[in-house]
């Protein structure tokens, strides 16, 4: 291997953390490669797994807890587990870590202290867990609950404290349907009157710092995204608590993680282990960016060398500027494609397939609209929202589709209506047309052949109406 290590950062999003890691790799004298949909190609066959661009090590930064299709992204991460290169936070480890109860079960099995918790699966099981808290259910009584009837309900996968709530005496958890899951957990009593916990960032088996988080006045959750206050706790947290966080990350097989711990009246507990914990709040509190430590760990995993003094120097800055390695993102059609006719040929793609139709341009429409039958045929969806229609007081479902014009695909959320009585299955709104100029004298006939002709405003209205 050459002295320069090529570090692939697997990230399909534009987070500050991804940018900071890429910049840290470059600042340490090595080559970052941002692996995302615009430049990533993977294939297998003949007993080999190929990845382009090729890399020497991979840092997994997929945001599984907030992904719309977490299993799909987990499968993508799993591809790299089969590649002949080390993976930081491999899929096998993150699959357990992102499920809060699975993570707690693994930690408990490894002797790491976690709050007493029970997993409910489906409606019947959650009803069994929902006995009033003054009964001997073993949840609120252990770990010194702040109130004998106080428990915590949370979903096994989620971020920023979403779908998490307190259950008082006699209160029931949200109903679970089908095979959905929920966690009922004893609330740990803090020695202080504040709702607070500590996040310790662990990289490569070492704690790089710690911050204490305080819940805002109107909440009990300490998440920074919810307004939680933070301060540096690196020198305040006992060494054995730092080691508790290191042990938790190791028990889950993670190369780096934000480990949330809480002090109870009878000791410290690990609340959660976050595989993609953010850097911003941590840096504001501690003055330490985890990005250089993560980059250095990955480089060493691939056999490369780094300067420890430079790592410490870089850690004093959170450089989340756009890195030079960001793949070229085509945000607009090319100049040659930026003129459309009054009608033009487009391809509409959904989950079941794609169809090519002739669409009509309407610069007065805010959002693109497609026919109900076409939406059904290509499998557009799922329904993301509804759009109110001005003038008639109705609303229409809004669904995601891919709409290809020429060599460029627009990812849109379009409204759906019955257009069977109209001339065109697709009406292009300004969400598409803002990228183009429209030449009303250009159109396509029913066979998709372009021809020139003048169309009056009255004639256009008549065809639509």
pLDDT, tens digit, 9 for 90 and up, residues 52-92? 999 999 999 998 877 777 788 888 889 988 888 999 999 99
pTM here is: 0.73
Q: Are 12 and 73 in contact (CB under 8 A)?
A: yes
Dist CA 213 CA 230 (whole Å):
5
pLDDT at 27 over 90: yes
pLDDT, tens digit, 9 for 90 and up, residues 239-285? 999 999 999 999 999 999 999 998 888 889 999 999 989 999 899 99
Domains of the chain, earliest start first = 1-98+279-325 (3.40.50.20), 114-278 (3.30.470.20), 335-464 (2.40.70.10)
- Give phi and psi for 278, each to the nearest 5: -75, 165
Q: Are 221 and 186 in contact (CB under 8 A)?
A: no
Lowest-confidence region among 106-115, 320-329, 357-366, 441-450: 441-450
On average, the pLDDT of the chain sits at 82
What's the pLDDT band for 149 if we cut at 50, 70, 90? Answer: low
- Retrieve residue 93's tokens: 């480890």
Q: Are 397 and 415 in contact (CB under 8 A)?
A: yes
Dist CA 73 CA 63 (whole Å):
8
Lowest-confidence region among 61-65, 160-164, 246-250, 433-437: 160-164
């Amino acid at each position: 291997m050459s002295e320069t290590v090529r570090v692939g950062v697997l990230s399909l999003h534009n987070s500050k953390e991804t940018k900071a890691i890429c910049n840290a790799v470059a600042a340490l004298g090595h080559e970052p490669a941002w692996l995302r949909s615009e430049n990533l190609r993977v294939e297998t066959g003949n007993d080999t797994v190929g990845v382009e661009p090729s890399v020497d090590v991979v840092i997994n930064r997929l945001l599984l807890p907030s992904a719309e299709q977490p299993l799909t992204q987990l499968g993508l991460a799993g591809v790299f587990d089969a590649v002949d290169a080390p993976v930081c936070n491999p899929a096998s480890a993150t699959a357990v870590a992102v499920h809060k109860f699975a993570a707690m079960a693994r930690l408990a099995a490894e002797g790491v202290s976690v709050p007493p918790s029970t997993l409910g699966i489906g409606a019947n099981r959650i009803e069994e867990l929902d006995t009033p808290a003054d009964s001997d259910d073993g949840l609120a009584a252990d770990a010194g609950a702040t109130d004998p009837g106080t428990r915590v309900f949370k979903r096994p996968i989620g971020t920023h404290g979403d779908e998490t709530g307190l259950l008082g005496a006699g209160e029931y958890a949200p109903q679970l349907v089908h095979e959905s899951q929920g966690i009922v957990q004893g609330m740990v009593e803090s020695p202080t009157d504040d709702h607070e916990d500590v996040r310790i960032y662990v990289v490569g088996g070492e704690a790089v710092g710690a911050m204490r988080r305080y819940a805002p006045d109107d909440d009990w959750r300490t998440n920074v995204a919810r307004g939680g206050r933070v301060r540096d706790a690196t020198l305040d947290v006992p060494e054995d608590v730092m080691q508790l966080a290191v042990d938790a990350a190791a028990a889950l097989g993670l190369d780096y993680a934000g480990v949330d711990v809480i002090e109870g009246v009878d000791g410290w507990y690990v609340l959660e282990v976050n595989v993609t914990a953010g850097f911003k709040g941590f840096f504001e509190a501690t003055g330490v960016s985890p990005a250089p430590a993560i980059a250095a760990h990955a480089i060493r995993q691939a056999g490369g060398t780094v300067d420890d003094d430079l790592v410490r120097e870089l850690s004093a800055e959170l450089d989340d500027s756009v890195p030079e390695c960001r793949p070229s993102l085509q945000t607009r059609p090319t100049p040659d494609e930026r003129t459309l006719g009054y009608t033009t040929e487009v391809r509409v793609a959904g989950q079941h397939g794609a169809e090519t139709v002739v669409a009509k341009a309407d610069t007065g429409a805010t959002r693109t609209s497609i026919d109900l039958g076409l939406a059904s045929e290509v499998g557009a969806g799922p329904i993301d929202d509804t759009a109110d229609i001005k003038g008639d007081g109705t609303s229409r479902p809004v669904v995601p589709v891919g709409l290809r014009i020429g060599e460029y695909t627009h990812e849109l959320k379009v409204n759906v209506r019955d257009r069977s009585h109209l001339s065109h299955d697709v009406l292009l709104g300004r969400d598409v047309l803002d990228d183009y100029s429209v030449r009303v004298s250009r159109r396509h006939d029913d066979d998709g052949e372009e021809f020139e002709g003048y169309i009056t405003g009255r004639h256009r209205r008549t065809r639509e109406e």
